[in-house]
């Protein structure tokens, strides 16, 4: 029986009749002529069409009733190939690439048309051969997850792995990561590993490597060039700077967020230019050198996730604050309006939370600017009720920092001191 994953009913019968398997290169005559690789399908797909991956890298569905002729050009059978020989150069620096999953840690298997992990050094050299001219890259898998599935336990596992390499001979550590929650991970690593002696760089891809517009290779190359050529430490996110392939941005791990769902330049530094801009072999520094972490490295890897991020809006039910208190939460980060406000319907709940000993921090829903709760009477009232303004820290970063600060504090007062301390450039001066 042919390997026809996902096909059923009419489509399965059609492919079996024509002796076609997934991975076969076929030519189809329909309304137009199509040549491509037969792809697997989702199990829940209808049985009235088949899927081809075209040479362009894009997939197309073709209805069975429109197919006039189908011809197998070559079989999916894969001949044994000699294993790629890893090229190393003792004169080049060493880089460690840790994979957590995501689009960037994948390549296309043109036998099946599927996107599969590219995790070994040999795979990387095959996929992006320019790497071997820049550095010797060791590759290791931590886990393979979509980034929306990553949880604080994964942040801790990543931090512990990196902490164990503090005395290694690596020039930098690169983390291949899905983009959707990458700035949460970068924020935690920034706090937990503040002062780590070499750069830690998270890199991702907005477009998968089976698409002509993929940014996977250029982002990875830029991250390696940055690690090799810039004498700094800290945690960074490296992603496209604009819609061309010319410039790649390097953002502080605590001052960046994903601001677009699909653009290659989705990541932006909030309130400033990126810390660095990488243009092939040229690296432009925007951030002042004194911005970087210089204190002695003392890892703080603990975390307490009993922190809530509350986005205030008209109609918000303050009973939800009571529910958080009853559920054992120890801190609330408010994403307030404007300069840092929430409606007076919330005041009693806020007062109760403060009396129960919760840390209460205020950030702003506005993309740019900083909280200034002394400007208006409502802001001053909220400060009297126990809310601490958190300058211009990004709400998601404030959430992560609060989890970290809570996990590394003996008391709420200790936590408050950590929250107001500029640990990893999370506040701008």
Instruction: Provide the edge-to-edge strand list for the sheet that holds 59-63.
Output: 59-63, 49-54, 33-38, 25-29, 69-74
164-180 burial, b for 16+ CB within 10 Å, e for fewer? Answer: ebeeeebbbbbbbbbbb
Q: What six digits make up the tokens of 77?
A: 């059978």
CA–CA dist 310, 395 (Å, integer): 9
6 forms beta bridges with none
What DSSP designation does 349 have? H
Q: Output Rg (C-alpha) for the chain, integer angstroms.
A: 25
Report the C-alpha gap between 22 and 41 in whole angstroms.
10
Which residues are known catalytic residues? 103, 179-180, 258
Give me the long-range contacts of 128-133 (CB less than 8 A, separation at least 24). 128/217, 128/220, 128/221, 130/221, 131/220, 131/221, 131/224, 132/87, 132/88, 132/89
Closest by CA to 375, choosing from 389, 394, 386, is 389
Token digits of residue 269:
């530094």
* 3-class DSSP assignment, residue 279: strand
Contact criterion met (CB below 8 Å) for 191 and 184: no
Contacts of 321 (CB under 8 A, 6+ apart): 310, 332, 346, 349, 350, 352, 353
Strand partners, 71: 27
């Amino acid at each position: 029986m042919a390997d026809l994953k996902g096909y059923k009913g009419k489509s399965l019968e059609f492919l079996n009749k024509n002796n076609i398997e997934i991975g076969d290169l076929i030519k189809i005559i329909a309304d137009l002529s199509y040549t491509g690789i037969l792809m697997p399908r989702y199990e829940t797909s209808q049985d009235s069409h088949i899927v081809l991956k075209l040479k362009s890298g894009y997939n197309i569905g073709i209805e069975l009733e429109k197919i006039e002729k189908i011809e197998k050009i070559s079989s999916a059978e894969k001949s044994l190939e000699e294993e790629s020989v890893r090229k190393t150069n003792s004169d080049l620096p060493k880089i460690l690439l840790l994979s957590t999953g995501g689009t960037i840690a994948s390549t296309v298997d043109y036998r099946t048309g599927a996107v599969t992990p590219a995790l070994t050094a040999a795979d990387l050299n095959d996929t992006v051969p320019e790497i071997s001219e820049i550095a010797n890259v060791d590759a290791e898998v931590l886990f393979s997850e979509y980034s929306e599935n990553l949880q604080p336990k994964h942040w801790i596992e990543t931090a512990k792995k990196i902490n164990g390499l503090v005395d290694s001979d690596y020039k930098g550590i690169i983390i291949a990561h899905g983009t959707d929650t990458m700035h949460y991970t970068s924020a935690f690593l920034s706090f937990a590993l503040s002062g780590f002696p070499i750069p830690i760089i998270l890199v991702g891809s907005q477009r998968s490597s089976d698409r002509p517009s993929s940014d996977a290779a250029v982002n990875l190359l830029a991250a390696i060039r940055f690690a090799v050529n810039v004498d700094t430490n800290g945690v960074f996110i490296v992603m496209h700077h604009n819609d061309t392939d010319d410039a790649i941005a390097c953002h502080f791990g605590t001052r960046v967020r994903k601001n677009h769902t699909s653009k290659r330049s989705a990541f932006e530094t909030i309130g400033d230019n990126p810390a660095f801009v990488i243009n092939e072999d040229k690296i432009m520094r925007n951030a002042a050198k004194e911005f970087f972490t210089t204190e002695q490295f003392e890892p703080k890897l603990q975390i307490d996730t009993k922190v809530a991020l509350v986005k205030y809006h008209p109609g918000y039910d303050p009973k939800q604050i009571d529910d958080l208190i009853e559920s054992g939460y120890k801190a609330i980060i408010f994403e307030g309006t404007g300069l840092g406000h929430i409606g007076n319907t919330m005041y009693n709940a806020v007062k109760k939370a403060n009396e129960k000993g919760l840390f209460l921090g205020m950030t702003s829903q506005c993309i740019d600017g900083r909280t200034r709760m002394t400007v208006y009477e409502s802001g001053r009232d909220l400060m009297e009720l126990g809310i601490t303004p958190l300058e211009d820290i990004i709400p998601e970063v404030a959430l992560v920092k609060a989890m970290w600060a809570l996990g590394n504090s003996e008391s709420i007062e200790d936590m408050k001191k950590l929250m107001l301390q500029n640990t990893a450039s999370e506040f701008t001066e």
